[in-house]
Amino acid sequence: ETGVTQTPRHLVMGMTNKKSLKCEQHLGHNAMYWYKQSAKKPLELMFVYSLEERVENNSVPSRFSPECPNSSHLFLHLHTLQPEDSALYLCASSQGTALYEQYFGPGTRLTVT
Amino acid sequence: GQQVMQIPQYQHVQEGEDFTTYCNSSTTLSNIQWYKQRPGGHPVFLIQLVKSGEVKKQKRLTFQFGEAKKNSSLHITATQTTDVGTYFCAGPGTKAGKSTFGDGTTLTVKP
């Protein structure tokens, strides 16, 4: 499946680094999501964008900063992360935000050292 | 906020045995979705249920939505090794776009 792509697939960063995760969807969808998946909490919704406007910020620390320049692209900017932020970060998209299935990308495996 | 609880957390079966995972909510759900995540993969949408008492089938998979729309189940008949993975249910959140995923049921199948 290549409907939703994510780069990089793996990332190792130190706590003082700044990095960005990129997501691109080729499905013509209007909504995009960031999820964090870890062993402790399987799927945590972080941010939701609908028509490029952020409609949900699920109490995520400010060291995570999303950006949605257009309906096809979504970024997650990372800075001064903590080791407990190590997880799989999944991007998803859907046609809309109500009663629509979500299509997930392959994820970025992030390790914070 | 609205939550969905999923049980069991893990299920180990012998190939050929049946498997069921349950999803429960304390409030009425407008819809319920099911996803499957293979080991090392990402969640993939399986199905959505909307109507009270709805039953849908996909080959060996049977999905049900309770009459009160507060619970749902996924039943796999005669499991195969290709069925391994984690099955998630997802209900609508209290805000637009905020889907609430259950913690998932991880299925392992012994050949």
Determine the pLDDT at residue B94.
Answer: 60
Cis peptide before A8 (omega within 30 of 0): yes
Residue B97 has pLDDT above 60, yes or no: no
Tell me which chain A residues have a C-beta less than 8 angstroms from the C-beta of B90. Answer: 102
Task: Give CA–CA dist A80/A17, Å, rounded.
Answer: 6
Q: Please, how many CA atoms are within 13 Å of residue A28, restricted to the half-sphere of its CB?
A: 0
Q: Between B30, B97, B100, which is nearest A48 by CB?
A: B97
Determine the residue of chain A that is closest to B104 in CA distance: A42
Ordered per-residue pLDDT tens for chain A, 113 residues: 579 999 999 999 999 889 999 999 999 999 999 999 998 777 888 999 988 777 777 779 999 999 999 999 999 999 999 999 999 999 999 998 777 899 999 999 999 99
pLDDT band for B9, please (50, 70, 90 cuts). Answer: very high
Determine the pLDDT at residue A1.
Answer: 55
Determine the residue of chain A that is closest to B89 in CA distance: A43
DSSP B52: T
What's the mean per-residue pLDDT of chain B? 93
Instruction: Assess contact for B91 and B99: CB atoms under 8 A.
Output: yes
